[in-house]
Amino acid sequence: MTDIRDLTQRALDNALVDDAVRSFWQRKTDTEGANPSEYIVYTLDSDTNESYADNSPLIKSANVTVRYYYRTDLLDSYSGRGKVKAREIEIEAAMLAAGFTVPFGPSDTGDIDNIGFGVTVFECYFDRLVGA
Amino acid sequence: MKVSIDNLQIAVEDILREYGDVVYKATDDGLKEAEKVLVNNLKVASPVGKTGEYAKSWRGKKGKGKKSLRRYVGNTKMVPGKNGEVPLSNILEYSPIRGKPFIKRTYEQSIPAMADAIVGKIKSEG
Protein backbone atom coordinates (compact mmCIF):
# COMPACT_ATOMS: atom_id res chain seq x y z
CA MET A 1 0.00 0.00 0.00
CA THR A 2 1.14 3.55 -0.74
CA ASP A 3 3.56 4.88 1.88
CA ILE A 4 2.04 8.27 2.66
CA ARG A 5 5.14 9.75 4.28
CA ASP A 6 7.29 8.72 1.35
CA LEU A 7 4.74 10.10 -1.11
CA THR A 8 4.63 13.44 0.75
CA GLN A 9 8.41 13.69 1.00
CA ARG A 10 8.89 12.98 -2.69
CA ALA A 11 6.16 15.40 -3.74
CA LEU A 12 7.64 18.24 -1.71
CA ASP A 13 11.27 17.46 -2.58
CA ASN A 14 10.54 17.25 -6.29
CA ALA A 15 8.90 20.67 -6.19
CA LEU A 16 11.14 22.54 -3.78
CA VAL A 17 14.57 21.01 -3.49
CA ASP A 18 15.96 23.12 -6.36
CA ASP A 19 15.39 26.18 -4.18
CA ALA A 20 17.00 24.38 -1.21
CA VAL A 21 13.67 24.38 0.65
CA ARG A 22 13.90 21.23 2.75
CA SER A 23 10.98 19.17 4.01
CA PHE A 24 11.03 17.32 7.30
CA TRP A 25 8.80 14.71 8.84
CA GLN A 26 7.69 15.72 12.36
CA ARG A 27 10.57 18.04 13.27
CA LYS A 28 13.18 20.16 11.58
CA THR A 29 16.78 19.07 11.72
CA ASP A 30 19.89 20.98 10.66
CA THR A 31 20.66 20.30 7.04
CA GLU A 32 23.68 21.51 5.11
CA GLY A 33 22.98 23.88 2.24
CA ALA A 34 19.36 24.41 3.26
CA ASN A 35 17.57 27.69 2.59
CA PRO A 36 17.70 29.46 5.98
CA SER A 37 14.49 31.42 5.35
CA GLU A 38 12.09 28.66 4.39
CA TYR A 39 11.41 25.05 5.28
CA ILE A 40 8.56 22.59 5.67
CA VAL A 41 7.49 20.28 8.48
CA TYR A 42 4.80 17.70 7.77
CA THR A 43 3.06 15.19 10.00
CA LEU A 44 0.82 12.23 9.33
CA ASP A 45 -2.07 13.10 11.65
CA SER A 46 -4.35 10.15 10.96
CA ASP A 47 -4.85 7.25 8.59
CA THR A 48 -8.39 6.05 9.13
CA ASN A 49 -10.39 3.19 7.68
CA GLU A 50 -13.23 4.63 5.64
CA SER A 51 -15.10 1.71 4.17
CA TYR A 52 -15.45 -1.98 5.07
CA ALA A 53 -16.36 -5.28 3.45
CA ASP A 54 -16.53 -8.53 5.42
CA ASN A 55 -15.17 -6.67 8.45
CA SER A 56 -12.02 -5.70 6.57
CA PRO A 57 -11.17 -2.13 5.61
CA LEU A 58 -11.46 -1.38 1.89
CA ILE A 59 -10.38 2.24 1.81
CA LYS A 60 -8.01 4.20 4.01
CA SER A 61 -7.89 7.97 4.24
CA ALA A 62 -4.67 9.62 5.36
CA ASN A 63 -4.55 13.15 6.71
CA VAL A 64 -1.22 14.92 6.32
CA THR A 65 -0.63 18.40 7.73
CA VAL A 66 1.97 20.36 5.81
CA ARG A 67 3.42 23.44 7.55
CA TYR A 68 5.33 25.91 5.42
CA TYR A 69 7.69 28.02 7.57
CA TYR A 70 9.03 31.33 6.28
CA ARG A 71 11.03 34.01 8.04
CA THR A 72 8.59 36.76 9.03
CA ASP A 73 11.00 39.39 7.60
CA LEU A 74 9.76 38.27 4.21
CA LEU A 75 6.40 39.88 4.99
CA ASP A 76 8.05 43.31 5.28
CA SER A 77 8.51 43.78 1.55
CA TYR A 78 6.29 43.46 -1.49
CA SER A 79 8.71 41.05 -3.15
CA GLY A 80 8.96 38.97 0.04
CA ARG A 81 5.19 38.66 0.33
CA GLY A 82 5.06 37.68 -3.34
CA LYS A 83 7.67 35.02 -2.72
CA VAL A 84 5.66 33.55 0.17
CA LYS A 85 2.47 33.50 -1.89
CA ALA A 86 4.25 31.90 -4.85
CA ARG A 87 5.68 29.23 -2.58
CA GLU A 88 2.26 28.48 -1.11
CA ILE A 89 0.89 27.98 -4.63
CA GLU A 90 3.85 25.73 -5.45
CA ILE A 91 3.32 23.58 -2.33
CA GLU A 92 -0.40 23.16 -2.92
CA ALA A 93 0.20 22.29 -6.58
CA ALA A 94 2.84 19.71 -5.59
CA MET A 95 0.47 18.01 -3.16
CA LEU A 96 -2.39 18.03 -5.67
CA ALA A 97 -0.14 16.59 -8.37
CA ALA A 98 0.81 13.75 -6.00
CA GLY A 99 -2.87 12.83 -5.68
CA PHE A 100 -3.75 14.55 -2.43
CA THR A 101 -6.80 16.74 -1.99
CA VAL A 102 -6.35 20.07 -0.23
CA PRO A 103 -9.96 21.02 0.50
CA PHE A 104 -9.27 24.05 2.68
CA GLY A 105 -6.28 25.46 0.80
CA PRO A 106 -3.60 27.45 2.62
CA SER A 107 -4.29 28.80 6.09
CA ASP A 108 -2.27 31.45 7.94
CA THR A 109 -1.58 30.33 11.48
CA GLY A 110 1.02 32.92 12.57
CA ASP A 111 4.28 32.28 14.40
CA ILE A 112 3.04 29.16 16.18
CA ASP A 113 6.48 28.06 17.42
CA ASN A 114 7.50 31.60 18.52
CA ILE A 115 10.74 31.41 16.54
CA GLY A 116 10.31 34.35 14.18
CA PHE A 117 8.83 32.23 11.38
CA GLY A 118 5.32 32.58 10.01
CA VAL A 119 3.51 29.35 9.19
CA THR A 120 1.06 28.47 6.46
CA VAL A 121 -0.80 25.22 7.06
CA PHE A 122 -2.21 22.87 4.41
CA GLU A 123 -4.50 20.03 5.48
CA CYS A 124 -4.03 17.33 2.85
CA TYR A 125 -5.99 14.11 2.38
CA PHE A 126 -5.15 10.98 0.43
CA ASP A 127 -7.62 8.13 -0.06
CA ARG A 128 -6.42 4.77 -1.32
CA LEU A 129 -7.61 1.19 -1.63
CA VAL A 130 -6.23 -1.18 0.96
CA GLY A 131 -3.68 -3.38 -0.77
CA ALA A 132 -3.15 -0.92 -3.65
CA MET B 1 -58.89 26.18 0.21
CA LYS B 2 -60.07 26.55 -3.36
CA VAL B 3 -57.62 27.72 -6.00
CA SER B 4 -58.71 28.72 -9.45
CA ILE B 5 -56.69 27.47 -12.36
CA ASP B 6 -55.59 31.04 -13.07
CA ASN B 7 -54.06 31.38 -9.63
CA LEU B 8 -52.57 27.90 -9.45
CA GLN B 9 -49.01 29.01 -10.18
CA ILE B 10 -49.11 31.70 -7.49
CA ALA B 11 -50.63 29.29 -4.96
CA VAL B 12 -47.93 26.66 -5.63
CA GLU B 13 -45.22 29.30 -5.31
CA ASP B 14 -46.68 30.44 -1.97
CA ILE B 15 -46.77 26.89 -0.64
CA LEU B 16 -43.20 26.20 -1.76
CA ARG B 17 -41.99 29.48 -0.21
CA GLU B 18 -43.73 28.64 3.06
CA TYR B 19 -42.28 25.12 2.98
CA GLY B 20 -38.83 26.54 2.22
CA ASP B 21 -39.09 28.89 5.20
CA VAL B 22 -40.06 26.00 7.49
CA VAL B 23 -37.16 23.85 6.23
CA TYR B 24 -34.74 26.78 6.56
CA LYS B 25 -35.80 27.52 10.15
CA ALA B 26 -35.70 23.86 11.19
CA THR B 27 -32.23 23.42 9.67
CA ASP B 28 -31.00 26.64 11.26
CA ASP B 29 -32.29 25.57 14.68
CA GLY B 30 -30.72 22.13 14.19
CA LEU B 31 -27.37 23.71 13.37
CA LYS B 32 -27.62 25.83 16.50
CA GLU B 33 -27.99 22.62 18.53
CA ALA B 34 -25.04 21.01 16.72
CA GLU B 35 -22.96 24.11 17.45
CA LYS B 36 -23.76 23.77 21.15
CA VAL B 37 -22.67 20.10 21.08
CA LEU B 38 -19.34 20.96 19.47
CA VAL B 39 -18.65 23.94 21.74
CA ASN B 40 -19.37 21.83 24.82
CA ASN B 41 -17.17 18.97 23.61
CA LEU B 42 -14.33 21.36 22.80
CA LYS B 43 -14.65 22.94 26.25
CA VAL B 44 -14.35 19.53 27.85
CA ALA B 45 -11.39 18.51 25.67
CA SER B 46 -9.49 21.80 26.09
CA PRO B 47 -6.33 21.78 28.15
CA VAL B 48 -6.87 23.61 31.42
CA GLY B 49 -4.09 25.97 32.42
CA LYS B 50 -3.94 28.16 35.49
CA THR B 51 -7.06 30.14 34.65
CA GLY B 52 -9.14 27.80 32.48
CA GLU B 53 -9.64 30.80 30.21
CA TYR B 54 -8.93 28.88 27.01
CA ALA B 55 -11.72 26.37 27.68
CA LYS B 56 -14.14 29.23 28.31
CA SER B 57 -13.24 31.00 25.06
CA TRP B 58 -15.02 28.78 22.53
CA ARG B 59 -17.58 30.70 20.47
CA GLY B 60 -19.98 29.85 17.68
CA LYS B 61 -20.88 32.21 14.86
CA LYS B 62 -23.54 32.06 12.18
CA GLY B 63 -22.52 32.58 8.56
CA LYS B 64 -23.81 35.55 6.61
CA GLY B 65 -25.74 35.83 3.35
CA LYS B 66 -25.48 32.68 1.24
CA LYS B 67 -23.55 31.04 4.06
CA SER B 68 -26.28 31.63 6.63
CA LEU B 69 -26.82 27.86 6.98
CA ARG B 70 -23.28 27.43 8.26
CA ARG B 71 -21.83 27.64 11.72
CA TYR B 72 -18.27 28.59 12.56
CA VAL B 73 -16.81 27.53 15.87
CA GLY B 74 -13.55 29.03 17.07
CA ASN B 75 -11.58 30.04 20.10
CA THR B 76 -10.92 33.70 20.82
CA LYS B 77 -7.93 33.26 23.15
CA MET B 78 -4.79 34.96 21.80
CA VAL B 79 -1.27 34.77 23.21
CA PRO B 80 1.64 37.15 22.65
CA GLY B 81 4.44 36.03 20.35
CA LYS B 82 7.58 37.51 18.81
CA ASN B 83 5.57 39.05 15.99
CA GLY B 84 2.30 40.05 17.63
CA GLU B 85 -0.48 37.90 18.97
CA VAL B 86 -1.17 34.36 17.81
CA PRO B 87 -4.40 32.36 18.34
CA LEU B 88 -3.68 29.80 21.05
CA SER B 89 -5.75 27.22 19.17
CA ASN B 90 -3.33 27.48 16.20
CA ILE B 91 -0.39 26.80 18.49
CA LEU B 92 -2.07 23.85 20.21
CA GLU B 93 -3.32 22.31 17.00
CA TYR B 94 -0.42 22.88 14.63
CA SER B 95 2.85 23.59 16.42
CA PRO B 96 5.14 20.55 16.30
CA ILE B 97 7.09 22.04 19.22
CA ARG B 98 4.42 23.43 21.56
CA GLY B 99 1.31 21.71 20.24
CA LYS B 100 -1.20 19.46 21.91
CA PRO B 101 -3.68 18.74 19.12
CA PHE B 102 -7.26 17.97 20.05
CA ILE B 103 -9.53 20.20 17.93
CA LYS B 104 -9.74 18.12 14.76
CA ARG B 105 -10.04 14.93 16.79
CA THR B 106 -12.82 16.39 18.94
CA TYR B 107 -14.66 17.64 15.85
CA GLU B 108 -14.50 14.21 14.21
CA GLN B 109 -15.63 12.47 17.39
CA SER B 110 -18.52 14.94 17.70
CA ILE B 111 -19.97 14.31 14.24
CA PRO B 112 -22.47 11.58 15.31
CA ALA B 113 -23.66 13.66 18.30
CA MET B 114 -24.00 16.76 16.11
CA ALA B 115 -25.98 14.81 13.51
CA ASP B 116 -28.25 13.44 16.27
CA ALA B 117 -28.77 16.95 17.63
CA ILE B 118 -29.78 18.27 14.21
CA VAL B 119 -32.16 15.39 13.49
CA GLY B 120 -33.63 15.59 16.99
CA LYS B 121 -34.31 19.31 16.66
CA ILE B 122 -35.87 18.99 13.21
CA LYS B 123 -38.10 16.14 14.41
CA SER B 124 -39.18 18.11 17.48
CA GLU B 125 -40.30 20.96 15.23
CA GLY B 126 -42.14 18.38 13.13
Split at pLDDT 50, 70, 90, the class of B1 is: low
Q: Which residue does chain B place closest to A64, by CA atoms?
A: B94
Question: How many whole angstroms separate alpha carbon B73 and alpha carbon B45?
Answer: 14
> A9 with A25: CB under 8 angstroms?
yes
Question: Residue B90: its chain A contacts at CB < 8 A?
Answer: 109-110, 112
Q: Tell me the pTM.
A: 0.84
What whole-number distance in Å separates Cα of residue B52 and Cα of residue B60? 18
Please enumerate in sequence order all residues whose Cβ is within 8 A of that of B15, keeping only pairs 6 or more positions apart, or say none: none
- ipTM for this model: 0.84
B80 touches chain A (CB under 8 A): no
Q: What is the pLDDT of residues A32-76, one digit of tens each?
A: 888 889 999 999 998 988 888 888 888 999 999 999 999 999 999
Which residues, 6+ apart, have CB-to-CB distance to A101 below 8 Å?
A: A124, A125, A126
Of A45, A63, A111, the CB nearest to B81: A111
CA distance A79 to A82: 5
DSSP assignment string, A37-80 = TEEEEEEEEEEEEEEEETTEEEEEEEEEEEEEEEEGGGGGSHHH
Residues on chain A touching B81 (C-beta within 8 angstroms): 110-111, 114
- In this predicted structure, the answer to whether residue B62 has a pLDDT above a threshold of 90 is yes
Average pLDDT over residues B38-51: 93
C-alpha dihedral sign at A96, A102, A105, A111: negative
